[in-house]
Structure 1
Amino acid sequence: MKKTIISTLLGSTLALSSGAAFAKDDIKIAVLMYGMKAEFVQLMQQAAYDHPLVKSGEVKITMYDGRYDALVQNNQAETAIRTNHDAIIINPMDFDANIDVVDMANDAGIPVIVTNARLNTDQMTAEVVSDDVEGGYLEAKFIMEQIGCKGNVVILEGPKGGSGEIQRGQGNEKAIAECPEGAVKVLERKTANWSRAEGMTLMENWLMKHQGKISGVIGQNDEMALGAIEAIEGTGDSVDNYVIAGIDGVTDALHAVKSDKMTSILQDANGQMQGSIDVALRHIIGEQYKPTSKVWQQYADQLNWNNGLSKRYDIPWTVVNQQNVDKLLEVRK
């Protein structure tokens, strides 16, 4: 049946390239998000619905909330396959446990695109991600430069076992290792599960335990870094006494950058999701499909469409600073 669907779509590819309409339910893509609470994931969700062919009704998106449980995501993949979706896009919760989604999709002959986070396999159709090692390096490098490569830092980690925690941690360590040996000490590192509330609680405990000794706070995402800021301000201390960095470029973090409270390494939710949809459509429809999202023009000098056949697409990071933060905030309005 899948071959019949693809064959039919190949015969009507001009419907996409010319903008002519075709039946709403011709193409169905399942999007498996690890959870829907965080703003960054919500930005990805909105980006999916804003894709030109989704907005026009020519492509239907089914959005699944994985509820921060790898097993739930695996079960949702089974549902997507059983209900004849033409492709699966997964933002995986777990680096290893969600490999099952790739295996199931491959067995069913369905393209599977991994986005945002990574999986410990190369058997997916493609990945549309940002290099988390680089992201972790950029945020930690900023802190190392600001503290002059001397002092003590704490690291708020992502959920254990997720690719973000693993690879951003590798980037953090790489930046710290560029300082003279022993010049920078990591006083604490513990997961706050991407949560602002958990980040605040951890930071409150560390502030009490290491009074006056913490120079820098590395948050492997913005939410945890923002929680650390709340903890610092809650004690009556000033964030001016700390160098704080996070990753994602969520709206509150952009405002915090504007207020000189932290820096953020913006991860492009729109680029990752809309790029994933374009790659999925290329593998559903065939070589006649031309990408319709703007991501390929936005990063034309860094991102090569390659006829939709690359195994991995890296969406570039943007370091948020005083020069670009207003423009980035304007986009969120």
Structure 2
Amino acid sequence: MNNMKKIIIVLAMAFIIVAIFKVCVSRDTYSKTGYKGKLPKVGAAIYKYDDEFMSYICNSMENDAYGRIALNMNDSQNDQNIQLQQVDEMILKGSRALVINLVQPKAAKAVINKARVANLPVIFFNKEPDASVLNSYDKAWFVGTDSKESGILQGKMIVDLWNENKSKWDKNQDGKLSYVLLKGEPGHPDAEARSKYALDEIKKAGISVEELAQATAMWDDAKAKEKMDGWISKFNDRIEFVISNNDVMALGALDSLEKAGYLSEKKFIPVVGIDAIPNAIKKIKEGTMVGTILNDASSQGRAIIDLVTNAANGKNILNSTSWKITNNKYVRIPYVTIIKDNIDVAEQAYK
């Protein structure tokens, strides 16, 4: 009996070790491919793995990297010091190019200094470095979107939706759109641009607005729910629109509104976000969320891998690709407005 128990314990420990090993290499296509020594090594650092939108970009990158480069991705755990250490380690391990999703955009200069010393190309993505920093190194590029465009499209979408539903959504019939705004992290280029340009478009359309409140929720659903709970308690029926810098925060706000009974037809409060993640698409189909802006994670992942594969092989970054570059530095992926009428566009992007 004792021997049987020992065998069971040994087998259980072996299973756990194998499971851990699989987790450790799950973001390392160098280990997956079996092309050891033949594919160029590329080191990537992601600001944090548990960001839902970033997970879709990471999946796209892994799929497109397979058999082309030995991609090793690292979780920077939302800590810039950890990320800079990871950059050093990736360089020491023989990476021939770097892919960096910055924790803090201001850290781009430090990353470039490290890449320059090692004479390595570096592709930044999602969080855009300052133009002067990007232009300071001839082997640095950015793949991502134009934050201004997402704000403009969100603003135009709000204008159209408000004009179509004003009789129902203008609760006190004062002609004003009374809103609350959920912002991403303070100083983040996307958060600032999305907020500014969305509101600018609404005002340009001649719609009077009243800001009841705005707050930072750090792109997080739980923080957004907490903010929304407080606003419902404070403003009650005065809230006529919830504008969110991303879908994750929008979903947190929806959770709060649903629990407070504000998603029924008579008390409905419209919510819009940005990214068009699958959970938001589902809510739009259900009619509990009214719109979002597609931030095409799949295309961004493909563009990143296409460019870094060329860079790691010493080729022009656009070699044999269809991507367009502006100012010799930027590959921009366009946003798309998503409402219930064209929800299939967003669904197709995540297939």
- 1:321 corresponds to which of 339, 342, 346: 339
Contact 1:267 1:317 in 2 (8 A): yes
In structure 2, the partner of 1:65 is 75
Question: 1:275/1:311 Cα in 2 relative to 1: closer, same or farther (>3 Å)?
Answer: same
- 2:308 corresponds to which of 280, 295, 319: 280
Per the TM alignment, residue 71 of structure 1 is displaced from its structure 2 partner at its CA by 2.2
CA distance in 1, matches of 2:264, 2:293: 18
Per the TM alignment, residue 239 of structure 1 is displaced from its structure 2 partner at its CA by 6.0
Question: Is the counterpart of residue 154 in structure 1 residue 154 in structure 2?
Answer: no
Per the TM alignment, residue 271 of structure 1 is displaced from its structure 2 partner at its CA by 1.3
Question: Is the counterpart of residue 55 in structure 1 residue 66 in structure 2?
Answer: yes
Per the TM alignment, residue 292 of structure 1 is displaced from its structure 2 partner at its CA by 6.8
Per the TM alignment, residue 231 of structure 1 is displaced from its structure 2 partner at its CA by 0.6
CA distance in 2, matches of 1:235, 1:286: 57
CA distance in 2, matches of 1:144, 1:323: 16
Question: 1:75/1:289 Cα in 2 relative to 1: closer, same or farther (>3 Å)?
Answer: closer
Per the TM alignment, residue 304 of structure 1 is displaced from its structure 2 partner at its CA by 2.3
CA distance in 1, matches of 2:318, 2:35: 16
Per the TM alignment, residue 77 of structure 1 is displaced from its structure 2 partner at its CA by 1.3
1:224-245 CA deviation, whole Å, 9 max, x = no partner? 0011111100101226522211
Contact 1:258 1:325 in 2 (8 A): yes
In structure 2, the partner of 1:258 is 285
CA distance in 2, matches of 1:290, 1:311: 11
In structure 1, the partner of 2:5 is none
1:276-295 CA deviation, whole Å, 9 max, x = no partner? 121122223244777677xx
1:13-52 correspondence runs (5 A) = 24-51=37-64
3-state DSSP of counterpart to 2:261: coil
CA distance in 2, matches of 1:329, 1:131: 22
Where do 5+ consecutive residues of structure 2 fail to align? 1-33, 164-174
In structure 2, the partner of 1:249 is 276
Deviates more, 1:149-158 or 1:247-256: 149-158
Amino acid at match of 1:283: A
CA distance in 1, matches of 2:246, 2:127: 13
1:129-182 CA deviation, whole Å, 9 max, x = no partner? 11111112211332233234832111111111322222222322422441448x
In structure 2, the partner of 1:190 is 215
Amino acid at match of 2:249: M
Aligned residues with identical type, % of pairs: 25
Deviates more, 1:236-245 or 1:101-110: 236-245
Where do 5+ consecutive residues of structure 1 fail to align? 1-20, 297-302
CA distance in 1, matches of 2:225, 2:47: 22
In structure 1, the partner of 2:149 is 134
3-state DSSP of counterpart to 1:218: strand
Higher-helix-fraction structure? 2
In structure 2, the partner of 1:114 is 124
Question: 1:239/1:312 Cα in 2 relative to 1: closer, same or farther (>3 Å)?
Answer: farther
Question: Is the counterpart of residue 175 in structure 1 residue 201 in structure 2?
Answer: yes
Deviates more, 1:64-73 or 1:189-198: 64-73
Say what the alpha-carbon RMSD is for the aligned residues: 2.5
Question: 1:274/1:100 Cα in 2 relative to 1: closer, same or farther (>3 Å)?
Answer: same
Contact 1:24 1:60 in 2 (8 A): no
1:236-288 CA deviation, whole Å, 9 max, x = no partner? 12265222111111110111121222211111112112211211222232447
- 2:240 corresponds to which of 212, 215, 225: 215
The number of residues matched between the two structures is: 299
In structure 2, the partner of 1:271 is 299
Question: 1:55/1:292 Cα in 2 relative to 1: closer, same or farther (>3 Å)?
Answer: farther
Question: 1:218/1:281 Cα in 2 relative to 1: closer, same or farther (>3 Å)?
Answer: same
- 2:190 corresponds to which of 164, 186, 203: 164
TM-score w.r.t. length of structure 2:
0.78
CA distance in 2, matches of 1:289, 1:175: 36
CA distance in 2, matches of 1:59, 1:255: 35
CA distance in 2, matches of 1:206, 1:244: 14
